Structure 1
Amino acid sequence: MKKAVIVQAKRTPIGKQNGIFQSLQPNELAAPLLQHLASGIEDQIDDVLLGNVTGPGGNVARLSTLTAGLPLKVPGVTLDRQCSAGLEAVRMACYFIQGGAGHCYIAGGVESPSTSPFPKRARFSPDQIGDPDMGAAAEFVAQKFEITKETQDEYALLSYHRSWEAFKNGLFAEEIIAVEQQSEDEEFSKERNMQGLLKRAKPIFVKGGTVTAANSCGIHDGAAGVVVMEESTAHQHGYKPVLRFVDSQVAGVHPHYPGAAPIPAIQTLLKRNGLTTKDIDLFEINEAFASKIAACSRELSIPYEKLNVSGGALTIGHPYGASGAILVTRLFYEVQRREKTRFVIAAIGSGGGVGVTVLFEVV
């Protein structure tokens, strides 16, 4: 079986909804990223796989490849698995390479809520099951796993401090390509008194609940992508592989608990590969809500020391279809700063109760 490796990874800065990228359509946001990732290997690319959730509809990936000026032969396909779409794109590209369908893919996602033509979100679940908004679903996760507001706030504060420390140390600069003269995540324009905000914040989704605006992510624009190559092809083109795809798993849970969906996905993935949480050096699990991270950490026995070590979406934001690819991008750079890392995992839960997780081996 052929081996798929990640040889490049980048993301755009992340902008607030109606912020620094308010006028950019998804293809305009993704095009500079694709140009950067494709530079020098334009004729080697078999396809571009992009996750996208909030529109504008059509084949955003194809439109983005054409906007980027990639060769006309590069087709482009757009995926929607809600928040896990970007990670699903990476996962699919790895399987395409394993199966011999191609030898080089760009995979990731792009999201622009600022320009979305849809005033409301898509339906996640039918009425007979119930279709809660994600904030209410985060409350359901908190209730099911007995995650208190204090626990959520504690994690949100930890994540915020980690994000700012990573930003100040220039770690995010390695991940980012400039777009429209913007080279930093918009949330880092001003540091906040997060401890005070967490203390003052009131529940906004369920009366008497625990989920607040301060321990939840915001709505953001952004794009992220990776170059996935067949390993021998990567060496032939002078690339040094960083992450090698090992395996992946998708799991479905009740749509009321989407934040818990990574739990069975990770459990199945580890069991099938004869691994435990202790064997994994780093986890990146999307921080849509602190309740989700606390539940995943507790149920999977993941210590915070291994989990989202440079913060995540609670601070920089969650550009839905791109977030899964941001997780892989974060791992791509983090493992290069460390010694003796072997296995890492990216995971994300999404609307409708779907969890996706991918296991990589450090090359």
Structure 2
Amino acid sequence: MNVLIFDAVRTPRGKARPDGGLAQETPHGLVAHLAAAIGARGNDPRAVDQLTLGCVGQIGAQGGHIGMVAKLACGLPDRVAPHSLNNYCASGLSAIGQAAAAVAAGQIDRALAGGVEMMSRVPFMADKADYYEATDFAPRRRYIPVAVAADLLAVKERIDREALDRVAATSQARAAAAEDTPALIASRIAIGGLDREEAPRATTPEALAKMPPAFAAMAAGYVEALGGATIEHRHTVAHAPPMTDGAGLALIGRNGEGARARILAYAEAGGDPRDSLTAGFTAMNRALARAELGLRDLDRIEFMEAFAVTIAKFMRDCPVDPDRVNVSGGHLAKGHPMGATGAILLSTLLDALDAADGTLGMVVVTGANGVGAAMIVERLR
């Protein structure tokens, strides 16, 4: 793949509660703010053929074809084709990947793509899908909440509580430090008075060690789906990404001056719904193979902290320098606005590469029930 990224911007993440820093905004309004920011930074967001937007909770404030609603809010020309997609936590990166595929195929010249989620307006599982409680699937194919799946995976992978605490502490410390490092937040756009990540919280190793596991009661409602499996619950609320509001948006195209980066490879993957959070690893390996690169070739990596078990597994099992991974903190500190996550991480990656004067970087996202995606980029300036 040889598709250019002209810019990628993101909002700060606001707490998903009525008094959260973005809660008075609208989902389409967040996207419109970011499109305007792309224009103010030197690229015309109206000169596109397509807007592709990821969003998980497509009801209420995010219903009515959120891609179409955002297109109208952004003031894009009538000719622009809008797309809305839901690929769970991979949605934002899937939107960019699918738009990039259309560019690479010559179907379009330029696109805006990204994701949005306002969990203060549309809470987790608010769509009340029948599948969440369906019993007409074999137990291994039934829905298991991602928090419960995270505990299952931690037991299966022999990732202990101390490892979970370590990655949580690192995420919080790096997120706090990033606020004082302008280069790492250069593409984060202040909105509605919110000019910093709202979810990070001060903590200590001692405080983390005292926190109780949080998701045993949730597991009790899914006994049949768990097939009698015994779970040693390990994840606390500090090991789970806070629910937040946020959006990310990228401008991509085939040619033009002033591009920030080039997409070298993109891959998606499915996985075992019971293991749930492992498909990102498969997507990562596919993307690396397509780019003919190894992890050691990468200057910066944004690996989604989809519960502490995923980043702990990555750091333990993969040959990677920890100082190149999630250098400005991750989801455990800053939060997870589901459909926006992949787009936010791409913007974060480009800032991290700029700050390090690096060249190659990768985003990896992974989500519930076996979805994952990965993208490798080459920084151009």
| TM-score, normalised via structure 2 length | 0.87
Q: 2 CA distance for matches of 1:93 and 1:50? A: 10
Question: Does residue 47 of structure 1 match 2:50?
Answer: yes
Q: Is the 8 A contact 1:51 1:85 kept in 2?
A: yes
Question: Does residue 336 of structure 1 match 2:363?
Answer: no
Q: Is the 8 A contact 2:299 2:353 kept in 1?
A: no
Quick one: which amino acid aligns to residue 342 of structure 2? G
Residue 203 (structure 2) aligned to one of 165, 190, 193: 193
Q: Is the 8 A contact 1:284 1:345 kept in 2?
A: yes
Q: Is the 8 A contact 2:184 2:351 kept in 1?
A: no
Q: 2 CA distance for matches of 1:77 and 1:38? A: 21
Cα offset, 1:271, TM superposition: 2.9
Quick one: which amino acid aligns to residue 6 of structure 1? I
Question: What is the total number of aligned residue pairs between the two structures?
Answer: 353
Question: Does residue 246 of structure 1 match 2:282?
Answer: no
Q: Is the 8 A contact 1:52 1:321 kept in 2?
A: yes
Superposed CA offset, 1:119-157 (max 9, x none): 466447974123110101111221121111100100110
Residue 221 (structure 1) aligned to one of 227, 245, 254: 245
2:146 match: 134
Secondary structure of the residue aligned to 2:194 is: coil
1:5-84 equivalent positions in 2, closer than 5 A = 5-18=4-17, 19-38=20-39, 41-56=44-59, 57-84=63-90
1:257-296 equivalent positions in 2, closer than 5 A = 257-296=275-314
Q: Is the 8 A contact 2:199 2:242 kept in 1?
A: no
Q: 1 CA distance for matches of 2:5 and 2:369? A: 29
Cα offset, 1:184, TM superposition: 1.8
Identity between Structure 1 and Structure 2 (%):
28
2:366 match: 349
Superposed CA offset, 1:178-214 (max 9, x none): 22222222225xx522434312211111364111101
Quick one: which amino acid aligns to residue 155 of structure 1? V
Cα offset, 1:77, TM superposition: 1.0
Q: 1 CA distance for matches of 2:184 and 2:362? A: 19
1:4 match: 3
Question: Does residue 230 of structure 1 match 2:254?
Answer: yes
Cα offset, 1:69, TM superposition: 2.0
Quick one: which amino acid aligns to residue 345 of structure 2? L
Quick one: which amino acid aligns to residue 161 of structure 1? A
Superposed CA offset, 1:65-119 (max 9, x none): 2112222222321111000000011111211111111111111100011111764
Q: Which runs of 5+ in 2 are unaligned?
A: 217-230
1:212 match: 236
More displaced, 295-304 or 221-230? 295-304
1:168 match: 180
Q: Which runs of 5+ in 1 are unaligned?
A: none
Cα offset, 1:42, TM superposition: 4.2
Q: Is the 8 A contact 1:37 1:106 kept in 2?
A: no
More displaced, 100-109 or 172-181? 172-181
1:88 match: 94
Secondary structure of the residue aligned to 2:373 is: strand
Q: 1 CA distance for matches of 2:128 and 2:280? A: 22
